[in-house]
Structure 1
Amino acid sequence: MRRTIALAAPIAALALLTTPAAAVSDATAPERPMYVLHGSASGTLPESFGQWAGEKVRFAVDARSDGVKTQGTFDVFHAGKPGKPTVGDFQGRIACLTAGDGIAIATGVITKGYVNIEGEPKTDVSGKKVSFTVHDKGRRDTMFWMWEFLGAPVNDCQGTAPVFRPSKSSFKVKG
């Protein structure tokens, strides 16, 4: 019996040494999800947007996450009414992304840009958080957003109901 145990231990050690590390780690490591939000949208804000109704907006988001590391960018442009200054123009990086069933929530931080809200001075909004929620419905996407600079509390991967229907949209959501 001792002789069998004595031979079994070196054989087991040899098997571990000759097994590729990737095979061992792949067998025990859970597969990470892959989330993607990519595309753009533009449209005119409806009456429900109050003082901004009738103004044109444009969004672009390109983000990926494996559930641990998130990378990506966003770009937002909000034109003023004819003859009025641009309301907002800013870009930034995506910090958090999650997705499921065709809906993605991406949050990020503005790295460069400004807002020009009527009655207030033009303001640099760098460092402020933003949130985008997109429902990929083919050619009938819906979306919504939240801006920390307008008082919305934006936490990582926090979104809201995607109720705005842009006139043009090419968003693709995976996850």
Structure 2
Amino acid sequence: MKRTIALATPIAALALLAGPAGAVTAPEAPMYSLRGSASGTLPESFGQWAGDKVRFAIDARSDGAKTRGTFDVFHAGKPGEPAVGEFQGRISCLVAADGIAVATGVITKGHVTIGDKPAMDVTGKKVSFTVHDKGRRDTMFWMWEFLGAPVNDCQGTVPVFRPSKSSLKVKG
């Protein structure tokens, strides 16, 4: 009889420490999102593309385990010239904190025209977007693998472009 009590006492103590059934819960997974659109005119620092109009739409969300979403980019050329770029794709990675988000993805359909070269299919190329949600004063930047930038999952850059219109919202 003593042996049974000796074993039961430690087990009972553990049960008391654990608390009532169902009281222990796993920590919640982080929830991130980057949603909205932005557009503007590229400044002089963009060299040959200065004065071109750009437009972005991003709808990305992540629960920390799975990321999903889409992006759409349009870069108009000079008046009378073809568009420099137009492509869409799927978001593959998203992280966010303190109003800043980095989203990376892969182009599923699109093309770019650089200089006098023929249009180039950019399907399968990686892209990155960094957004700093500042209300009406958002800033953002991007990297394109097809222009030689090494884009890795959730890799971003300093968001220095200030769109003239932006509804981009970062949560997380």
1:68 paired residue among 65, 69, 87: 65
- 2:93 is aligned with 1:96: yes
Per-residue deviation, residues 93-114 of structure 1 (Å, max 9, x unmatched): 0000001111000000000011
Q: Which stretches in structure 1 are left out of the alignment for 5+ residues?
A: none
CA distance, structure 1, for counterparts of residue 167 and residue 103 of structure 2: 16
- Report the residue type matching 2:32 in the other structure: Y
Deviation of 1:67 (Å): 1.6
Deviation of 1:5 (Å): 4.9
Deviation of 1:155 (Å): 0.5
In structure 1, what is the equivalent of residue 76 of structure 2? Answer: 79
- 2:29 is aligned with 1:32: yes
In structure 2, what is the equivalent of residue 148 of structure 1? Answer: 145
Give me the TM-score of the superposition, normalised by structure 2: 0.89
Per-residue deviation, residues 93-147 of structure 1 (Å, max 9, x unmatched): 0000001111000000000011111221101100000000000000010000000
Deviation of 1:30 (Å): 2.7
How many pairs align? Answer: 169
Q: Which stretches in structure 2 are left out of the alignment for 5+ residues?
A: none
Deviation of 1:4 (Å): 2.8
Deviation of 1:7 (Å): 6.2
Secondary structure at 1:139 match in 2: helix
- Report the residue type matching 1:97 in the other structure: L
Secondary structure at 2:91 match in 1: strand
2:102 paired residue among 102, 105, 120: 105
Deviation of 1:11 (Å): 8.0
CA distance, structure 2, for counterparts of residue 129 and residue 48 of structure 1: 23
CA distance, structure 1, for counterparts of residue 11 and residue 155 of structure 2: 53
In structure 2, what is the equivalent of residue 4 of structure 1? Answer: 5
1:49 paired residue among 46, 50, 57: 46
Give me the TM-score of the superposition, normalised by structure 1: 0.88
Ranges of 4+ aligned residues in structure 1 off by more than 3 Å: 5-12
CA distance, structure 1, for counterparts of residue 122 and residue 107 of structure 2: 7
In structure 1, what is the equivalent of residue 168 of structure 2? Answer: 171
Per-residue deviation, residues 44-97 of structure 1 (Å, max 9, x unmatched): 000110000101000010101122211110000000010000110000000000
CA distance, structure 2, for counterparts of residue 50 and residue 142 of structure 1: 19
- 2:120 is aligned with 1:119: no
Deviation of 1:2 (Å): 2.9
